Structure 1
Amino acid sequence: MNVLIVEDEPNYSDTLEMFIDELGYHVTGVAQDGNKAKKLFQNNRPDIVLMDINIKGNITGIELAKEFQSIQPTPIIFITSFDDKETFEKAKETAPHAYLIKPFDPGRLERCMELALQRAHSEDDKVFDEESNAVLAKDSFFVKERNRLVKVNINDIFWVEVDDKYTILHVEEKKYVLRQSLKYLCEKLDPSVFVQTHRSHIVNAAKIEDIDLQLSVVRINGNEIPLGKSYKDDLIKRLQML
C-alpha cells in the first residue's frame, strides 16, 4: 500500500514514516507544503494520504484535501493539533476517513488506515471481519495478511482457484489466500479479461501460454490449469474476441 505523508513538523513526519515502514507499507513521499504535496500526489497517486491541517505555505491541509479529491478520490486521514469545533467542521467538508488529534496513538492510526481503505473501496461494512480478508479497489485487491494490507494488482493475477473453503490468487512466484467465494470474485473481476475454465478455476486470458485440447488443460506461467468440457467452447470464443 502506497502512503503519502503531508506533515511540516519533522518529528511527526519522521515518526509517521517509521511507523508506515514498520507496518510493511510504502511511503511514496513526505511533503512539508502544498506545492510539493500536489506534485507527489499527481506523480505517485497514493492509496491513502496522511494529512496535517496546518502546513507550510499559503494553502491549508483542508484546502489541499479538496484539490486531491478533485483529481482522484483518495482516502484521507487528518492528523492535527487542532481540536476546536470550527476546524473540525471545515475538515468535515472534505469527507475525510478519519480525524486524529496529536499526539496520535499508533494503534488507532493503523485501524483508521485499514478502515479508510475498506470504506473507500467497498459497500460492505464488514470487509475485514472474521469472514473476509480482502477488498477490491478499481484495479487491485487489498489483501489482509497478518497486520498489514498487501496491494495486488488485478493485471498481475495469473489465475484464481478454489481450495476447500478458500480462494487462492496466483501471481508470479506468490499466492494469496482469501476467504471470499469464487462466485464473489467472478462478479468483481472483468469478464472480458478473466474467464472460467473449470468449476474451481478462473484464469487471466492475457496470461494464457497455450491450450492443450487433448489433455484439457490451459498452461499459464508453466502451470497446467484444468479445462472443463462445459467451459471449453466459451474459452475459445473469448480468445477469438481478444
Structure 2
Amino acid sequence: MLKILLIEDELIIAKDLQLSLQKDEFATIDIARNYDESIALFLEHNYDLVISDINLKNSIDGIAIIEKFSDIKTVPVVYLTAYSDSKIVDRAKSTMPFAYILKPFNLAQLKITINLAFLNFKKHEENIKPSDENRALLETLTKREKEILIILSTGKTSKEIAESLHISSQTVEKHKQNIRSKLSLKTIGELINFTMTSKLFMLSE
C-alpha cells in the first residue's frame, strides 16, 4: 500500500481525499495543512509520494514546500491546482513535479495521475529518454486508452484497472486490444516499454 503525504489546507477537502484514497487499501494518507506540519511529517516518515495543493492560504505555498522537500529527498510529487496559468506551471516545473491535476477532479482522475507520477518518476530515476516515434504513436490513442496504458504500466491487472476507472473488466480488455492494435504491440512487456519511452507528462483535463 502506498504511503502518501497530502498537503491541503482545506480540511474538508483533505479529509474527503484521505477517506477516498484509503478506501480499498489504495493508500494511507497523512494530512499536513501548512509548512511546519509538512516538514515535520516529511522528516518523520518515508513517503512514496506527495500530493500538494499549490495555492495554500498562508504565506508559504505548495511550491515553496516542495522546494524545501527537494533539499531533503526526491519523491514523486503531484500538484493540485485550480489554475492552468502558464506562469504557475512554469514555476512549479522548477521543482520537478511528476504530474499535475486540475481542480475540480474526480477520484479516478486522481488515481490515474498518481500512477502517472510514479511512471514519470521511474523514467527520471532510470534516465529514460522519450522516443519521437513513440510520441507520434501515442497521439493515435484516445484519452481513455492513454489512462489504461498508464495504469497498466504500473503493474495493475485488468480487474484493478477496471476498479480504478469504474468500468468493467471486459471494457478494459477491449481497450487493451485496441491499444495493442494501434501500437502494433502484442505483449504487456512491449506495452510497458512503449509507455516508458513515451512522453506522458501533462496537466490532467
Judge same fold: TM > 0.5, yes or no. Answer: yes
Distance in 2, matches of 1:28 and 1:106, equals 14
Does residue 144 (structure 1) correspond to residue 145 (structure 2)? The answer is no
Give 1:31 shift. Answer: 0.8
Are the counterparts in 1 of residues 99 and 117 from structure 2 also a CA contact under 8 Å? Answer: yes
Q: Could you tell me the TM-score, scaled by structure 2's length?
A: 0.59
CA separation in 2, counterparts of 1:118 and 1:83?
22
What is aligned with 1:35? Answer: 36
List runs of 5+ in structure 2 lacking aligned partners.
135-147, 162-187, 190-205
**Superposition pairs for residues 226-241 of structure 1, below 5 Å?**
none
Q: How many residues are paired up?
A: 140
Q: Tell me which of the two structures has the higher relative contact order, counting C-alpha pairs closer than 8 angstroms and 6 or more residues apart.
A: 2
Using the alignment, how far apart are the partners of 2:81 and 2:12 within structure 1? Answer: 13
Tell whether the 8 Å contact from 1:23 to 1:147 is kept in structure 2 after alignment.
no
State whether structure 2 residue 12 is matched by structure 1 residue 11.
yes
CA distance in 1, matches of 2:24, 2:8: 19
Mapping 1:1-242, distance limit 5 Å: 1-122=2-123, 123=126, 144=156, 146-147=159-160
Q: SS at the partner of 1:144? A: coil
Over aligned residue pairs, what C-alpha RMSD do you find? Answer: 2.7
Q: Give the conservation status (yes or no) of the 8 Å contact 1:34–1:55.
A: no
Unaligned 5+ runs, structure 1 = 135-142, 149-178, 181-242
Would the aligned equivalents of 2:82 and 2:102 in 1 still touch at CA under 8 Å?
A: yes
Q: Specify the structure having the higher radius of gyration (Cα).
A: 1
1:23 to partner: Cα distance: 4.6
| Residue 83 of structure 1, CA deviation | 2.7
1:186-218 Cα offsets, whole Å, 9 max, x none, are xxxxxxxxxxxxxxxxxxxxxxxxxxxxxxxxx
C-alpha distance in 2, partners of 1:82/1:133?
A: 29
Q: Is the helix fraction higher in 1 or 2?
A: 2
Percent identity for Structure 1 against Structure 2? 26
Cα distance in 2, alignment partners of residues 24 and 40 from structure 1: 21
How far residue 55 of structure 1 moved from its aligned partner, in angstroms, is 1.8
SS in 1 for 2:115: helix
Distance in 2, Cα, partners of 1:28 & 1:108: 17
Q: Secondary structure at the match of 2:156?
A: strand
Q: Is the 8 A contact 2:54 2:81 kept in 1?
A: yes
Say which structure is richer in strand. Answer: 1
1:10-56 alpha-carbon deviations (Å, 9 max, x no partner): 22112211221125233341011011011111111210111001224
